[in-house]
Amino acid sequence: MMFWYGGGWAWWQAGLMWLAMIAFWALLIWAIYALVTGITRRPGHAVPDGPRQPGDARRILDERLARGEIDAGEYQRLRDLLDGGAGRSAAGSGGAR
């Protein structure tokens, strides 16, 4: 009740109230934006059992060659297998002897 009898708020009190309200809403909007973009733009983040992109195996093969895990001959053989070309054998046959 003292508000009505005391002559109201000073101008700086009303200004602080508006500033606090604007800062609150700006922070809330920024937090939602950061959360959404952080979830959708995380590099290397994949759903373990999610759908795979067609180029995933080829990309992994390229990365293994770049890291030196496989040599050029092994890279070519695996790339041919991925492309469905020569060198593909029946599953479980283990090759001809």
Can you give the pLDDT of all 97 residues of the chain as single tens digits? 455 556 667 888 889 999 999 999 999 999 999 999 888 876 655 555 556 666 788 889 899 999 999 999 999 999 998 888 655 455 544 544 3
**Rounded CA gap, 77 and 61, in Å?**
11
3 Cβ contact list (under 8 Å, min separation 6): 9
pTM equals 0.37
8-state DSSP, 70: S
